[in-house]
Chain A
Amino acid sequence: MTPEPTPPPVPAAVETSHGIEAIKINTWFGTNHVLKDISMKIKPRQVTAIIGPSGCGKSTFIRCLNRMHEVVPGARMEGQILLDGANIFELDPVLLRRRVGMVFQKAQPFPTMSIFDNVAAGLRLNGLRHQGQLASVVEESLKRAALWEEVKDSLDKPGTGLSGGQQQRLCIARALAVSPAILLMDEPCSALDPIATSKIEELIQDLKKNYTIVIVTHNMQQAARVSDETAFFLLGDLIEFGNTKQIFTNPKDKRTEDYITGRFG
């Protein structure tokens, strides 16, 4: 069993939010070479967007950052990923994932759990029993995910009963409750309507004060709206990475320009 560190009583604003650096990442599914020599440095406490056509390896890349890639049978990777200078492949993946949280494309509340239990799941299942502490973490996380006002009177209702946008914010609250330093978001709005999407985008702006955020998106306007830096992936290669404004107004690479102007992809 892995050692169980005592979680902090409240996810106090993470003062030392960390960056993460990928060095020459290569990944395979079976014999299919998905990512080729990806190196990029993700800066702390800002939003980094990853864009590119379907199948270019965006999701695979962020799944490497919390070692979810290796959960898939037949998946393999090489290279180094440094979190505060430590290679994450030398860390226990379970402990790593408490520092690098993830929000998935499809909101997936645990179906047997209430709203409260969903948010508390990460801490409770890791051994935190103190009801008062749990309650304050749940409230704090739901507030950060901008969901508290909507659910504070129905915390014991099933999480699956919420609307799609609320479910996604519930999943964000659930991820925040274990106080990660980095939040990975894999197309978090692709299943949501524009109103829910704008709520999540506002939330991202708010969260970046405390967290390092990496967001994969198909929606280029979204990347332009929410991110500070943007990376463009194409067929497993990192084509261009830089300031979002520059990428969208003055791309250096012809392929980036073609993609963002809608000439392909």
Chain B
Amino acid sequence: MPGTYKHRQWVNIAAFTVTGLCALLTLSVLFFILGYVTMHGISSLSWDFFTKLPKPVGETGGGMANAIVGTFKLISLASVIGLPIGILGGIYLAEYGKGTTAGFLVRYSADIINGVPSIVMGIFAYTVVVLPMKHFSALAGGIALSIMLIPIAVRSTEEFLRLVPMAIRESALALGLPQWKVIVRVVIPTAMKGLLTGVLLDVSRVSGETAPLLFTAFGNRFWSSGWLNPISSLPVMIFTYAVSPYEDWHRQAWAAALVLLMIVLATNVGARVLMRNQVQVA
């Protein structure tokens, strides 16, 4: 009988159970992945893995030093290109583009690009960088990643700036400060920790991307000889090694997955710690 006390109690218990189970399921997926990767990867991790180059096909042993360094180089390049554009774009959206058609268009396009499959970004970078240069390169990989990074950074910057109450901007404007000074000296410092957190999360999101790197950075079994040549990266190594027929490569793929996961996890945890100290407003 709907409406009775018993009925309401029953509905409450049912709703609590269903939502609780789903929350538990979400959490357990994370712990399952972490546990599974650690279980398989930890045994193959060795000092060699971090310091040695991959061995020639057929020989066991060796490491992925070049891929670890390569991943950091690609992330750095993507950040150098993508973060300034993304952050400044986010500042535009939050501070100047509010309620304007231009702002709407920029925000809408950023959301669309965010939803585009990452392999399409790879094809795009392949077409505009790899084809004209006629070879794969670290530069192309960095550009592909930065194209993914820009819309993410735009949106995270906008979100964190929006957390700064309008009243703070108005107080500053009412003192006779020009808008750019209000943004640079009052709004951005207030949102600073949030912005840094956002940047770290953005970077960690693209750092595990594989598809955009497959036909841009390509891969390299040796140290990369420069930005204009192919470069190795952890995600691509995981992909290549995991689909290979060699038992030893499978083990190394697990180790690489563990290392990549730890890099992403460390960045995320770092971001959370930063956020804990965010200036409290409102």
Contact = CB atoms under 8 A, between A and B. Distances in A.
Interface of A: 1-2, 66, 68, 71, 73-74, 94-99, 101-102, 104, 106, 108, 110-112, 121-122, 125-126, 160, 171, 174-175, 178
Given A110-B190, A112-B189, A104 B167 contact: yes
B100 A73 contact: yes
A180 B181 CA distance: 19
Contact of A111 (B175, B177, B190): B190
B165 interface: yes
Interface in B150-184: 165, 167-168, 170-178, 181
Contacts of A95: 176
Given A108-B167, A110-B172, A112-B189, 16 more contacts: A66-B174, A98-B175, A102-B171, A108-B168, A110-B171, A110-B190, A111-B168, A111-B281, A112-B186, A112-B192, A112-B279, A121-B177, A122-B175, A125-B185, A175-B174, A178-B176
B170 A104 contact: yes
B8 interface: no
B173 A68 contact: yes
Interface centre among B165, B186, B192 (most CB of A within 10 A): B186
Nearest to B189: A112
B280 interface: yes
Nearest to B192: A112
A122 B177 CA distance: 7
Contact of B176 (A74, A104, A122, A171): A122
20 contacts: A94-B177, A95-B176, A96-B176, A98-B176, A102-B170, A102-B174, A104-B171, A108-B171, A110-B171, A111-B279, A111-B280, A111-B281, A112-B186, A112-B279, A121-B177, A121-B186, A122-B175, A122-B176, A125-B185, A126-B176
A97 B176 CA distance: 5
Interface residues of B, number: 24
Nearest to B175: A122
A97 B175 CA distance: 6
Contacts of A1: 178
B58 interface: no
Interface of B: 98-100, 165, 167-168, 170-178, 181, 185-186, 189-190, 192, 279-281
Contact of A71 (B170, B175, B186): B170
Contact of B175 (A2, A73, A160, A178): A178
B279 A74 contact: no
Contacts of B279: 111-112
A66 B172 CA distance: 13
A206 B192 CA distance: 39
B177 A125 contact: yes
B44 to A, nearest CB: 47
B98 A101 contact: no
A57 B281 CA distance: 28
Given A73-B99, A110-B190, A112-B279, A97 B174 contact: yes
Contacts of A175: 174-175
Contacts of B185: 121, 125
Contacts of B98: 73
Contact of B181 (A71, A73, A125): A125
A111 B193 CA distance: 13
Contacts of A108: 165, 167-168, 171
A106 B166 CA distance: 11
A174 B280 CA distance: 20
A145 to B, nearest CB: 14
A113 to B, nearest CB: 8
Contacts of B281: 111
A126 B171 contact: no
Contact of A68 (B99, B168, B174, B186): B174
Contacts of A74: 99
A100 to B, nearest CB: 9
Given A73-B100, A171-B171, A110 B176 contact: no
Contacts of B178: 1-2, 94
Given A73-B99, A73-B100, A111-B281, A121 B175 contact: yes
Nearest to B174: A102
A95 B178 CA distance: 9
B99 A110 contact: no
A96 to B, nearest CB: 8
Interface centre among B171, B172, B178, B181 (most CB of A within 10 A): B171
Contact of A126 (B167, B173, B174, B177): B177
A244 B190 CA distance: 42
A48 B165 CA distance: 29
A142 to B, nearest CB: 16
Contacts of B192: 112
Contacts of A174: 171, 175
